[in-house]
Structure 1
Amino acid sequence: MSASELGPSLSQAKMPASSGTLQPMDLRPWEALLTLQSVAQRLRLCQDASSNLQILLAAAAPVIGAESLVWLPSESHLPFHCVGSVSWPQADCARLMALISREHDWLRNPTYLANQPEQTCWQREFSQVHQVLALYLSEHKPLGWLLAINKQGGTRFRRTDTALLLPFLGLIRFYHHSTDRLQELRDLLFGFARSLTAAIDAKDPRRSGHSERTARIAVVLARQLSLSSADLGEIYLAGLLHDIGKLGLPETLLRKPGPWSIEEMRRFQQHVNIGYTFLADLHLLRNILPAVLHHHEYYDGSGYPDGLRGEEIPLIARIVAVADAYDALSTGYYDIPALPIAEVEQRLVNESGQKWDPQIVQALLAARQELLAIRPGSVGQSFCQHMEQALQHCLTAEDVPRHAIQDSMQELALELGDSQSVSASPAHDASDTASGTWAD
């Protein structure tokens, strides 16, 4: 909503001037307030930082009548953001950073106004700049600068424009602070999840590494399906914790070699309900509960625990189910040896529409090369790929855990230290060999 939409009584408001005549009231503070309310409702902490900054800049530019608004982060590896008619190539970031750093003492005065840039270095460096209003933002450390470039209509920036920009700068500060705290909370959550995963591996060592690989496979499938970065984080957690209910099963059952009896199978199948109960009271994990409970549902309705079919099965559960099966078949489970990848893929295709969502199976086939990097024993060949992916996600998707690079380094160290130790501890999934159904 703009000031003009407030109705004629406000848009035509008058205020007394010193001369006794009535002058139009400056409605820009009202417009700024309404814009701030609208922007605050649109910002999402789970959304990537670039989208939120674009929303902020696009909303603030017309409030002060700037041709362009630029957010220039103090860390040079981060991209700067620009909205408006003045073009700022990303390649200009370093030059812009150098100019703004040397042109003003920001610690003494966080506001800078240059209405005659021809008298400074601005016009010599950037010919498109005619006026500059810059505000400096810090929070225990430098965060960056908010720059208003060129006043519309050929007029000049005023100090009152600074007052109009300050609330938007405060919103940027709040967003940075909140996302930092949110990332700390996410790191804690991922650490908690990985600790539980280690406990599962300790209880059933024949399946060591299965949950971690399932999580990574599930993320690859989700990316193929074009899910959001927020979804990727939840799917990673779902893969890590899909078997958490096994902590409530006796070790004698989990470590029993060979096929299980019908009664043992029924007892084992309770792990999905146990896992759901374990996590049900953790509000932050509420979105992964469907995967924990339903990753053994089959597309034709023959799975457990509820016999859901087709799209009745939550998407996150369908993704984890295919990732779970792929890892089990390709690494071996109990007394059944690992299958060659070609046979694994063919089996999943044959069971598509019966056990697995056909769309997710197609996503798996499309990601064939990427999935090969996740299998045990393939760390060396795929290390560069792991690093590239980890860097990409850490820099562009807040929801991907920060330990991704550390994991790759640890895997490489394991391979270099004892290449057999990685390939000699494949994950195992129990199965009912008589019926051919998954026990995992």
Structure 2
Amino acid sequence: MPLGTVVRSEISMSDLPAVASEQVAGTVDELRACTGLPFFAVRIDSRCVVEVAGQLPPMIPDCVREELQQLTHPKKWETNAGMVFYAVPFCVENRTRYAALGYIPSAKASVAQVTRCEPPADLIIAGSQAGWSARQLRHFWNECEALSGNVVERLITLAAEHLSGRSARLRLEDELDHVTCQLDHTYEEISLLHDLSRNLQVSQGPTSLADLCVRRLHALVDAGGSLILINDRSRRNLLHSRGVLPFEPRELETLIESFSDVEWSRPLVRNHVGKTLLGADYPRLSNFILVPIQEGQHRKGWVFCCNRTHGQEFGTVEAGFMNSVATILGTHVRNTELYQQNQDLLIGFVRSLVSSLDAKDPYTRGHSERVALIARRIGKHMKLPEGDLRDIYLSGLLHDVGKIGIDDRILRKPGRLTDAEFEAVKAHPTIGYNILKGLSNLQHILPGVRNHHENFDGTGYPDKLAGDDIPLMARILAVADGYDAMGSDRPYRKGMPNQKIEEIFRKGRNEQWDPNVIDAYFACREDILNIYATYSLEAGAPIDGSLSTISLDR
């Protein structure tokens, strides 16, 4: 069998992509280590030799070249020139097919052929073309161990099985890495949904939740730009964005109008936008997902992600995840609205009660509101949390609501009350408590309503509590209530001057009032005097806030 023409065209390893170059060189080195045979590499589709560190002069006889394209398993060829050629096919990461080729002296050749110092003529030609000197070529040929074709076949078959096992392992490792990345991504998605569920307090509104969503969502879907638009109760658009958008955030509604015929029962996914009429209007928009924020028939906004990174397309996974986020947001926005409606009803109820009380006892009109303001200022000086200050304020507004159940003749009596009449008035904390206790949203203010007439020494009413057994809310309201009651005009007396009130406070500490609360009063007395100086009955609302800002959620 003649050797035929030697293939001269070569590809340098540097001409290959970095990953392919590394894999080709690694495979050839591994085959050489497994078999002890020399190899060079050939790219099968072009039959070009890939230079591999000069292990041997590249040479491909006709018999090998003719079978390269169909080569699927290791194979050996024996020639009449006393040589054994062999080839092991393999693929690299980009699916390009290569073959590791080589040759050695055949052990079946005649002793004269094998022991000759001069290599075969075709090898001499191949060596010359590869730039090998005659001395280098003779040394290479004499150092090659002669093996039979059967031994070579067994060696390359075992080596190919080893490579196949390694490829399977690498494939499994790649799949494991892919699954690990998917699990990490899924964990982040679940983590976001969990964080959303933990931040569904209806009293906070959708703003903070939308900001959390857009920050995390932007990274999870690998978007170039992300935007969440929410319509609040006042019909304003709340915009939250991340990354680079291909248009101004407020132009999202213009984009949405382009899809007025869409049913919106599922996310809208568009890839390859640049090839469409929409792409002409938005030249920087490559692809996007648009999902409505809605609950039932109530549409509350939109979730939008665009221009996926690394040239990727948006798919069902990203659309499904964004739809989950939009569903949670839609439910939260709707629940927030329902909560606010309930809060408005409750606030209206509180205002009605306070107005009813003012109508029954015109001499104390504004008393409840001033007590609420003073009590909140004292609580603020005592460094109570904002939620507790809101409770104190609301309890101050309603602390005398039980007087609705007191006879008008007693409340409007111009002179001093008899003992019997005073006992009737003393029932108002209990009456107020009974009026409000059925309202679940007001449970947290009941201690102030019921116990604001308890004395620190236990001589008060209705429960004769003493010291720290009296709720702190009630102890603060007791000071605020006493201050306003002593300073206000009554039919039978004029209001006391501030100096006289403070003298009574000093004498009554530890007996009628909590000394810590009295100390807090004196520490912020200038602010309390300012409350009195600026309070206006005509305004009908607190100086530093309004009922509409009070959260009734606990």
Shorter-chain TM-score bucket reads 0.5 to 0.7
Secondary structure at the counterpart of residue 176 of structure 1: helix
- Tell me which of 533, 537, 542 is aligned to 1:372: 533
Contact kept, 8 Å, 1:229 with 1:400, in 2: the verdict is no
Q: Which residue of 2 aligns with 1:80?
A: 239
Q: Which residue of 1 aligns with 2:485?
A: 328
Contact kept, 8 Å, 1:322 with 1:360, in 2: the verdict is no
Q: Which residue of 2 aligns with 1:102?
A: 254
Contact kept, 8 Å, 1:196 with 1:244, in 2: the verdict is yes
Whose helix fraction is larger, Structure 1's or Structure 2's? 1
Larger relative contact order (CA 8 Å, sep ≥ 6):
1
CA distance in 2, matches of 1:120, 1:227: 59
- Tell me the CA shift for residue 24 of structure 1: 3.5
Listed one character per residue, the Cα deviations across residues 339-384 of structure 1 (whole Å, up to 9, x for unaligned) are 455765676577566625146524564465355332547x5xx99x
**What is the percent sequence identity of the aligned residues?**
27
Listed one character per residue, the Cα deviations across residues 236-284 of structure 1 (whole Å, up to 9, x for unaligned) are 4322321122233333332333333444434422221222222222222
Do residues 195 (structure 1) and 352 (structure 2) align? yes
CA distance in 2, matches of 1:122, 1:400: 46
* Distance change (3 Å), C-alpha of 1:209 and 1:389: closer
Q: Which residue of 1 aligns with 2:337?
A: 180
Structure with the greater alpha carbon radius of gyration: 2
Listed one character per residue, the Cα deviations across residues 107-150 of structure 1 (whole Å, up to 9, x for unaligned) are 434556677899677787xxxx9976443335666533334467
- After TM superposition, the structure 1 = structure 2 runs for residues 165-176 of structure 1, keeping only pairs within 5 Å, are 165-176=322-333
Contact kept, 8 Å, 1:113 with 1:133, in 2: the verdict is yes
Contact kept, 8 Å, 1:29 with 1:164, in 2: the verdict is no
Q: Which residue of 1 aligns with 2:14?
A: none
Secondary structure at the counterpart of residue 296 of structure 1: coil
Secondary structure at the counterpart of residue 144 of structure 1: strand
Contact kept, 8 Å, 1:134 with 1:145, in 2: the verdict is yes
Do residues 293 (structure 1) and 454 (structure 2) align? no
Contact kept, 8 Å, 1:220 with 1:371, in 2: the verdict is no
1:135 aligned partner, one-letter code:
V
Q: Which residue of 1 aligns with 2:291?
A: 135
Secondary structure at the counterpart of residue 247 of structure 1: helix
Secondary structure at the counterpart of residue 71 of structure 1: strand
CA distance in 2, matches of 1:210, 1:47: 31
Contact kept, 8 Å, 1:218 with 1:319, in 2: the verdict is yes
Secondary structure at the counterpart of residue 297 of structure 1: coil
- Tell me the CA shift for residue 164 of structure 1: 0.1
Contact kept, 8 Å, 2:206 with 2:329, in 1: the verdict is no
* Distance change (3 Å), C-alpha of 1:367 and 1:309: same
CA distance in 2, matches of 1:221, 1:67: 51
Contact kept, 8 Å, 2:231 with 2:238, in 1: the verdict is no
2:179 aligned partner, one-letter code:
P
Contact kept, 8 Å, 2:453 with 2:460, in 1: the verdict is yes
Contact kept, 8 Å, 1:115 with 1:130, in 2: the verdict is yes
Q: Which residue of 2 aligns with 1:24?
A: 179
Q: Which stretch of the first structure deviates more once superposed, 61-70 or 181-190?
A: 61-70
Listed one character per residue, the Cα deviations across residues 272-324 of structure 1 (whole Å, up to 9, x for unaligned) are 12222222222222111111111123445553333444544333323433432
Q: Which stretch of the first structure deviates more once superposed, 283-292 or 110-119?
A: 110-119
1:323 aligned partner, one-letter code:
A
CA distance in 1, matches of 2:244, 2:506: 50
Q: Which residue of 2 aligns with 1:47?
A: 204
- Tell me which of 192, 207, 227 is aligned to 2:364: 207
Q: Which residue of 2 aligns with 1:245?
A: 402
Contact kept, 8 Å, 2:287 with 2:307, in 1: the verdict is yes
CA distance in 2, matches of 1:135, 1:226: 45
* Distance change (3 Å), C-alpha of 1:156 and 1:342: farther
Give ranges in structure 2 of 5+ residues lacking alignment: 1-174
Q: CA RMSD in A?
A: 4.4
CA distance in 2, matches of 1:206, 1:46: 36
2:239 aligned partner, one-letter code:
F
Secondary structure at the counterpart of residue 146 of structure 1: strand
CA distance in 2, matches of 1:116, 1:398: 50
Query: How high is the TM-score relative to the length of structure 2?
Result: 0.53
Contact kept, 8 Å, 1:65 with 1:152, in 2: the verdict is yes
- Tell me the CA shift for residue 45 of structure 1: 1.7
Q: Which residue of 2 aligns with 1:163?
A: 320
Listed one character per residue, the Cα deviations across residues 50-92 of structure 1 (whole Å, up to 9, x for unaligned) are 344444445545543557754333467565345x6x499xxxx
* Distance change (3 Å), C-alpha of 1:42 and 1:202: same
CA distance in 2, matches of 1:68, 1:255: 68
Contact kept, 8 Å, 1:218 with 1:320, in 2: the verdict is yes
Contact kept, 8 Å, 1:190 with 1:237, in 2: the verdict is no
CA distance in 1, matches of 2:214, 2:518: 42
Do residues 284 (structure 1) and 441 (structure 2) align? yes
Listed one character per residue, the Cα deviations across residues 162-209 of structure 1 (whole Å, up to 9, x for unaligned) are 210111111111111111111221222222223233332333332233
1:369 aligned partner, one-letter code:
N
